[in-house]
Structure 1
Amino acid sequence: MPARAHKSNAIVQSKLARLDEPHVAPLVALADEIAKSRGLPPGAVPYPDPDFAGVRAEALVLLKSPGPGAVTGTGSGLLSPENDDPTAARAHAEYERVGLDWRRVVHWNAVPWPTEADNPTGSDLHAARPWLPRVLELVPDIRAVLLLGKVAEQEWARPGLGTIAVGRRVPVIAAPMPSWPGITRAGASQALREAFDRLASVLG
């Protein structure tokens, strides 16, 4: 589908109706468990896009926290480069450029719930840390990790995560966030392109 496809409510609703499909259902259940732990309703923690690989993913793409395009109410309620926001559109363009089928990939956030500020607080990060290992348990076949932004890099580097949690060594690729503040820094666009090039090369 084209960039910003989630402008269409019909497309969004058709995807939300597929969240019980076996490849995404475990991650949907985890998102609801996280929401409940925060006193939030189901759906407040955005779900994986069912067009992605879900638990069959060959690569995990980790970002910092849900943006407006992913949040229920202001956006689709899905983690997807088809969301109607510039960050998602830039990620969509990179997938298209390298010809990488995102049915091989799953997106997640270091802080999986919406945060009040653009950047998660220390409290948010601390509260989120028990959840990422749970995600990794659900995606046992990943062959690469793409970290988008400093928050994702810092959280992945914490003891007990990374290749230890995955259970074997996989390439870990770091890149700037494709958001406006991140992508305008000197060399950021090129670094993002190189990261997607490497991800595509690793997956083959």
Structure 2
Amino acid sequence: MPRGRTRLAGSMAVLVLGALGLSTGTANAATGTVLPPGSTVCTDHLRSDAGAYVYGLSYTRQPLTWSIRMSSSPGGAETVLVETTDDEVIENAEPASPGDHYYRDCVTNTSDSEAVFRLSALQGPDAVSYELGIGPHTATLGPGGAFCGEFAFEAAHFTGTSNVPVEWHVRALDQDSLEEVADLLTVTATSAARTVTSAGQAIDACVTNTSTGTATLSFQLTGAGG
């Protein structure tokens, strides 16, 4: 294994996730209800001075390809620190050189059937300086592909862009950040921008590719709690 990389799986997963704080409402997380073959979803970036984690779970149990990608700035050239194919993965990776770097985690459906997945990213356990929720979630989604991510609380500004029309959906969630309690925005377009508010509730954003072609897209929630 490369330096600074560890892997844990099986019955350890729940204990490790609890220790890392990888809850449903984590800013650097994405949950996919439909991930067509060949589609990729990436979290937003985090900044860390001690590496990053990836947690991935294929609820439909086929192996997917998970990665931790590092850059010197959001949107900059990336180095792939971890890339592994499995139906569940928890891995930590650290760069060869010390100091702040930017990380995001990605999942690609390299199987031949649609997948339902969970993807989470968090700073390494020894990080002293870190920041979560930097920039947008991004994806390349085949027709019918759908996922949610980008968490905020009470108020946020949503922006989304795509090369083809997609359905953007921003919703308020219950206290466990599991179920929708209010529809804050639903629109089908190549782009959307809206400030949304909720009554003391968590907010996340979702997208569904309603087009017949592949969508290359990004979306972000910024503002209070974003």
TM-score > 0.5 by shorter chain = no
Which structure carries more relative contact order (alpha carbon 8 Å, separation 6+)?
2
Larger Rg: 2
**Which structure has the highest strand share of the two?**
2
